Amino acid sequence: MIDIHEDISLKFIDWPEISRATEQVHKAVQWIARLGKAYVPSQADDSHINMGWNSEEEYFYGHWFADYSLRLAFRPNDFAWLILDENFTINDSLGGWGRTDEDVWEWLQISLNKRGVDADLLQYDLHYNLPYEHDLKTVYGIVDEAVLNAFSRLRTLGNLMTKAALLFANPGNIQGGIRTWPHHFDAGCSIPLAMDNKEEVLRSLGVGMAIHDQMINQYYLYVSSWTKNSVFNYHELPDLPSGGYWVSSEGWNGAVLPFDKLREPQSFLLDKGVLFLIAAIETISDLKPQNISNQV
């Protein structure tokens, strides 16, 4: 059995409260994306605006900027934005309760200018929309500290299960590690399974954890695959362990495991998630060409 820290528990998770906390944090980390857009070299896949999760310190962090000397982080547990230096020391911080994005923008402009960074490059507008209403004047709502702590444990749990599954399944090289994407707030990675002679990806695997959405009303683990100019047949695949199941729809195809399926027994929580991910990774990776039909 894989050891897991005893304070990561799903027994008492209140999903509506987690959803509310997720919304507040999702909006707050957009500042990491905005700094990435302003100061990190642009990438076609938007990877310059994604972020990592530090499981030890429990914060999201963006890419380095200003000659690799600064990065912006956000710590959910006390709802604070942090400016870190090259030694990961906190140089400046701003608490978020009762704040608006107008406040955060003003703080960042002052803090960046103090450090010799052209704050005029930082813009508010992004090239994608969030599923919530929010503008410069919207006040960040207060979320109970215990709920924010549970949110952080869920992010750590998702990363732990994804890392462990990839270690055992070993499907291939992971592009960029496990990253959180600001668009949909999922935490996952992409693994190329086939490349052409120009090193362009022809087939890849997506593995990670998603937040609640229109498909599932709580956090869930997922494994999906992408192929260039083709599609997989998900209708005749073997059953998945731990209560996971296959989804085949016009919008999305792959394997999912809602976190409620991991509640009991608590002692096998991590193991159940990892077993699901390994089984789904191996099944999708082993699909034969005859299981793929060309789209017209």
Length of the chain: 296
pLDDT at 11: 66
In this prediction, residue 270 has a pLDDT band, given cuts at 50, 70 and 90, of confident
pLDDT at 291: 45
Mean pLDDT for 125-133 is 92
The single-letter code of the amino acid at 240 is L
- Using an 8 Å Cβ cutoff, are 202 and 194 in contact? yes
Question: What does pTM read for this prediction?
Answer: 0.90
What is the layout of strands, in order, in the sheet containing 175-180? 175-180, 187-195, 201-210, 220-227, 253-258, 245-248
Token pair belonging to 104:
């955060």
Mean pLDDT for 146-164 is 93
First to last CA, the chain: 47
In this prediction, residue 1 has a pLDDT band, given cuts at 50, 70 and 90, of very low
Residue-wise pLDDT tens digits, 210-235 = 999 989 999 999 999 887 766 677 77
Mean pLDDT for 176-180 is 87
Token pair belonging to 20:
């509310």
Residue 112 has pLDDT above 60, yes or no: yes
pLDDT > 90 fraction of the chain, expressed in percent and rounded: 65
Distance CA 153, CA 8 (A): 6
How many CB atoms neighbour CB 142 within 10 A? 11
Average pLDDT score over the chain: 88
Enumerate the domain spans of the chain: 15-121, 146-294
Choose between 294 and 177: higher pLDDT.
Answer: 177
pLDDT at 13: 85
pLDDT at 7: 52
Least confident of 22-26, 109-113, 262-266: 262-266
Least confident of 43-52, 56-65, 107-116, 242-251: 242-251
